[in-house]
């Protein structure tokens, strides 16, 4: 199942590929593969040589680390329209994390060798890549700040806000669909599943009502205020 024209367009709009001409992109895509992976499929393991980086076309992917004691630390989760592991191509020690499908989905898999070659020959592409990594860097800074200053409930609220596209700004309320199971959300937010469960209960006082994967936020601005410290 190759790429649809619409998908190619969306890929071109990714920051990472904005430095490519339409021809350049087509050329790059000719050496890339589109593959479907089932749930729980391992894409790569920490330490593997970084032979590919990825673009999520559909489904969800988690990047995680396994600690010696078996505990899993989820570093990031990516969904449709996001690229990941592109930074690893400049890490001689290989991927710094392991990658696994969370839900069945399609991935664009780009060989790092071919991409690196083009980066070398196309300064605009190099700049795009730098910008893309700068964005990631900044998101890590955000994460560190949040992990260190927010309570569990605040982090959960923050997480839900990220998934709430406010279609009609005149409404203060909105319904959010939690995109993957709660264990994964908990891990991504640096807490235990029990803590997430309790945090969701606690958010009822903030006008958040959760039933399964469906979450209803009654007052978006109020929740946003709850997120901030002080």
Partner DNA sequence: CGACCAATTGAATGTGTTCAACCCGTGTGG
Partner DNA sequence: CCACACGGGTTGAACACATTCAATTGGTCG
Interface residues with DNA (CB under 7 A) are 151-153, 181-183, 190-201, 210
> What is the per-residue DSSP string for 25-68?
HHHHHTT-EEEEE-TT-EEE-TTS---EEEEESSS-EEEEEE-T
Residue 67: name its binding partner from a copy of itself, DNA, none (Cβ under 5 to 8 Å by kind): a copy of itself
Choices 26-34, 177-185, 201-209, 222-230 (CB under 8 A): range interacting with a copy of itself: 222-230
Q: Encoding tokens for residue 50? A: 């970084």
Residue 9: name its binding partner from DNA, a copy of itself, none (Cβ under 5 to 8 Å by kind): none
Only one residue has tokens 């599943």, namely 193
Size of the site for a copy of itself (CB under 8 A): 42
C-alpha triplet 75, 81, 85: angle, nearest 5°: 40
| The one among 11, 20, 129, 203 contacting a copy of itself by CB under 8 A | 129
Of the candidates 95, 64, 66, 61, the one whose C-alpha atom is nearest the C-alpha of residue 78 is 61
| The one among 69, 167, 170, 194 contacting a copy of itself by CB under 8 A | 69
Residue 106: name its binding partner from DNA, a copy of itself, none (Cβ under 5 to 8 Å by kind): none
CA-to-CA distance for 52 and 54, rounded, in angstroms? 7
Q: Whose Cβ is closer to DNA: residue 89's or residue 101's?
A: 101
Catalog residues that contact a copy of itself under the rule CB under 8 A: 65, 67-71, 73, 75, 87-91, 96-97, 119-121, 123, 126-127, 129-131, 133-138, 140-141, 143-145, 147-149, 190, 228-230
């Amino acid at each position: 199942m190759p790429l649809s024209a619409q998908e190619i367009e969306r890929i071109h709009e990714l920051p990472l590929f904005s430095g490519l001409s339409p021809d350049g992109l087509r050329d790059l895509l000719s050496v890339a593969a589109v593959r479907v992976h089932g749930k729980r499929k391992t894409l790569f393991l920490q330490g593997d040589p970084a032979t590919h980086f990825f673009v999520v076309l559909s489904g969800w992917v988690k990047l995680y680390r396994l600690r010696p004691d078996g505990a899993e630390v989820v570093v990031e989760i990516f969904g449709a329209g996001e690229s990941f592991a592109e930074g690893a191509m400049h890490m001689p020690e290989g991927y710094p994390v392991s990658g696994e499908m969370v839900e069945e989905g399609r991935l664009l898999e780009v060989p790092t060798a071919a991409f690196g070659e083009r980066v070398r020959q196309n300064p605009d592409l190099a700049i795009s890549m730098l910008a893309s990594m700068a964005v990631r860097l900044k998101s890590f800074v955000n994460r560190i700040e949040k992990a260190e200053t927010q309570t569990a409930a605040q982090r959960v609220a923050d997480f839900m806000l990220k998934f709430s596209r406010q279609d009609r700004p005149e409404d203060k309320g909105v319904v959010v669909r939690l995109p993957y199971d709660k264990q994964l959300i908990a891990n991504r937010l640096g807490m235990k599943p029990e803590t997430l469960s309790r945090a969701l209960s606690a958010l009822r006082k903030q006008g958040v009502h959760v039933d399964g994967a469906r979450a209803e936020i009654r007052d978006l601005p109020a929740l946003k205020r709850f997120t901030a410290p002080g």
